[in-house]
Amino acid sequence: MTSILRNIAIVIFVLALVTGCSDQYKSKNIAEAGKLLTNGQLTQATEMANDLLKSHHLSGKEKRELDSILEMCVRIRRDFKLSEKDVLQKLSKYNPQIDSTELKRLEKEGKMDLLTIDGKRTYFSSSVRNLFLLDTTYSRLRAQKEGSPIDSFTIFKLKHTASVLVNTKHSGEPVNPVKMKLSYTIRVNADAVPAGEILRCWMPFPRESNKRQQLVHLIRTDPAANQISPATDLQRTIYLEKISVANQPTIFHTEMGISSAAQSFQLSPEMIVPYQKESPLYKEFTSERAPQIIFNAKIKSLAKNILQGEMNPLLQVRKIYTWINDSVTWASALEYSIMPDIPGFVIEKRHGDCGMQTLLFMTLARSIGIPVKWQSGWMLHPGEVNLHDWCEVYYEGIGWVPLDQSYGLQDSNNDAIRYFYMTGIDSYRMIVNDDFSALLTPAKKYYRSEPYDFQRGEIEWKGGNLYFDKWSWHMEVRYE
């Protein structure tokens, strides 16, 4: 069983614990449907779950469990839709000699994510694109065929962070503020739900509790009626409703303004004082958080090997940050909803996107007693607007310090620039979340498309959740 299938097994196990079954017969059959899913027999799992929904009187909990199995089948099929023939055809452009043997070698090295679905080897939809990031041979072959692109974003970050450091007169002060108007649109596919039904939409909205993010204001929404969640919500939303019209997409739109500033902390090991380990803050942000932050044997062993006896928190953070930078390659991720053990996946595969790398950092840091909290939203750099995750580390006597693991070490001989993203952050962010898996306002009835993060939004109607394949999203930024 691959790590991905083990993760799916955990999903089903967790669902069983949460939902439970009152009738032994139904419990056995629901468990059997879950087992079929775990074994990659998605067609049979779907048929069995649908039959159970039709043929038995079920409790609300049992219906939710069967709905979750059906939802998981849809999500897995969406992420894994390339056949071996598809992959070989795509890669033959760069390596005409590629065959099944070469493909199996790449799989063994953890560079091609796949599952056996209904008896067929099926590859992750981004596996070919990821291969060019994970394998130097294929990266070189693509460069020979298409040329090496200019990494303008890396150049931009180097220039920007150097400016931030020059303008920072006091450690941690917000500098280089950038005013932005944000235009965010969600388009639900035509006939995704029957005409006349109410679509419920949660869209991202900026938090107002961080001094890096100021002048938060709503300009307009479509529809005009809206509900902004309380500023205390750790995953901030603006809620909208519309009635669907036959043969037409349903469009939700928000426009808002923010001012986002950079922040850099010039820290040294001797500035770090012992933690107040009995404080509520320390206890909360050094604790485990199932299913993603678990201090299992693999995490404890890795942390010990990375630290090599280091005891100073700042130097411990530096060692963890550097190890992930040197050992884990950025690559497109599976949807998080089918990956309950993300840190374990990253350790095994040695690749992952920004959120996956952040969760690994958080787990390693918390496991050794360093308080860390999740932070995420959008990166809004010119030409590089996208979803993004990072975190904040707490140092006693200093406070919360931003850390962006996936931005990593910059190519500079100046250590302040090289390690900038270990104790600082740039001006181009929208902070939406200060936690993961927080409750949304108003409460969502159905299982979320993204159960951990909240950046794209969430859509549902009375018949259930609408997954990402039923709608699209787009952010536009105007710099003032």
Q: How confident is the model over 53-94, as pLDDT tens digits?
A: 987 688 888 888 898 899 999 999 999 999 999 999 999 999
Is the pLDDT assigned to residue 22 strictly greater than 50? no
Map residue 129 onto helix, strand or coil.
Answer: helix
pLDDT band with cut points at 50, 70 and 90 for residue 11: low
- Pairing type for strands 464-466 and 458-461 reads antiparallel
* Spatial CB neighbours of 206, under 8 Å, sequence gap ≥ 6: 213, 216, 236, 256, 258, 377, 430, 431, 432
Token pair, residue 219, equals 């300009």
Is the pLDDT assigned to residue 162 strictly greater than 50? yes
Token pair, residue 111, equals 């560079």
* pTM reported for the whole predicted model: 0.94
pLDDT band with cut points at 50, 70 and 90 for residue 1: very low
Yes or no: say if 279 and 355 are a contact pair by the CB < 8 Å rule. Answer: no
Give the mean model confidence (pLDDT) for residues 276-292: 97
Chain segment 309-339, per-residue pLDDT in tens: 999 999 999 999 999 999 999 999 999 999 9
- Pairing type for strands 458-461 and 198-204 reads antiparallel
Measured CA to CA, the distance from residue 71 to residue 47 in angstroms comes to 13
Yes or no: say if 374 and 365 are a contact pair by the CB < 8 Å rule. Answer: no
- Annotate 224-291 with DSSP letters as a single string: S--EEPPTT-SB-EEEEEEE--TTS-EEEEEEEEEEEEEEE----GGG-----TTSHHHHHHTS-BTT
Whether omega for the bond prior to residue 177 falls within 30 degrees of 0, making it cis, is: no
Yes or no: say if 240 and 272 are a contact pair by the CB < 8 Å rule. Answer: no
Domains of the chain as residue ranges with CATH: 1-149 (no CATH), 150-480 (3.10.620.30)
pLDDT band with cut points at 50, 70 and 90 for residue 16: very low
